[in-house]
Structure 1
């Protein structure tokens, strides 16, 4: 699978408190709610955007200048950002299998993805991201100063021929606490 090639740093390099979060196979949202009762979703952007190069490859998009449905949110505990989440899909997918993606608003994407028995998920892949990665730079623009490296994970959700790529960048409050 194209998304896993550069997305498989050894998990043993991740901070120990973060490893269970990186490998959570169920809904990250459900796990966050269980640990952070003041959980909320802060929508940063939702609309058409240019996917990153590796996202284009994963979604099988042919052109570099294509714009696709995209969503960026912060998953927070109260006002404290815990995760910067970035999702992209194809225009056809929001007309078919991922119709709800357009109108999800302030709800978590996980509430949609894990509620449907017709949606399957790929294996998780993870890596460290730094200032060279566009998602690290986007997270920094939103939350302010960040460590030089953060950990992120991603997976592809499938329903029929449609794909939705979800990437989650874990922010310092999450892996500095023991939960």
Structure 2
């Protein structure tokens, strides 16, 4: 799988992230499963699901798409406290084929569906320290309340045949305080 421009933008060295956050950022398995095992009373709060324009750093991956993309934004919570803001996008055609379950996940974690299907493959993880200039930082603050001045996020592409799903996860503070 060739690296995409959308992923290449996210090339912050993992070593620049706070040491306590690195195992979370670099988790290759299901982040959902790791959160469930680490935090009590895990839940998913769906913020919005529909068709919206891609952010500038996502457009390269979906450059042939003229219409809005299928978008899902959620908070992954522990005992009602948001710990991760997740943003996933794919094309309308992918929503009808390889990622048809995306539209029916409801409040279930998307990771549970992605990692349960052996045909779905994942790209390498990419990382970025985002701040108020990035729309995902602003969305995380609107959804979860005040945050550190910068937050670490990771991004990867899931592939189902030719279909692609871009998943970005923003680690919130607390419990992931990383304004360093």
Contact preservation (8 Å) 1:156, 1:166: yes
What is the CA deviation profile of residues 26-76 of structure 1, one whole-angstrom value per residue up to 9, with x for unaligned ones?
Answer: 00000000101311000000111111122121133344xx21110000000
**TM-score when normalising by structure 1:** 0.94
2 CA distance for matches of 1:21 and 1:170?
Answer: 9
Q: Look up the SS of the partner of 1:58 in the other structure.
A: coil
Q: Within the alignment, does 1:92 sit opposite 2:93 as a pair?
A: yes
Q: Within the alignment, does 1:26 sit opposite 2:18 as a pair?
A: no
Q: Unpaired runs of 5+ in structure 1? A: none
User: After superposition, where does 1:74-93 map in structure 2 within 5 Å?
Assistant: 74-93=75-94
Query: What is the RMSD computed on CA atoms of the aligned residues?
Result: 1.3
CA drift at 1:173 = 2.0
CA drift at 1:176 = 4.1
Aligned length: 175
Name whichever of 161-170 and 51-60 sits farther off: 51-60
Q: Look up the SS of the partner of 2:88 in the other structure.
A: strand
Q: Within the alignment, does 1:38 sit opposite 2:41 as a pair?
A: yes
Q: What is aligned with 1:56?
A: 59
Contact preservation (8 Å) 1:22, 1:153: yes
More helix by share: 1
**TM-score when normalising by structure 2:** 0.93
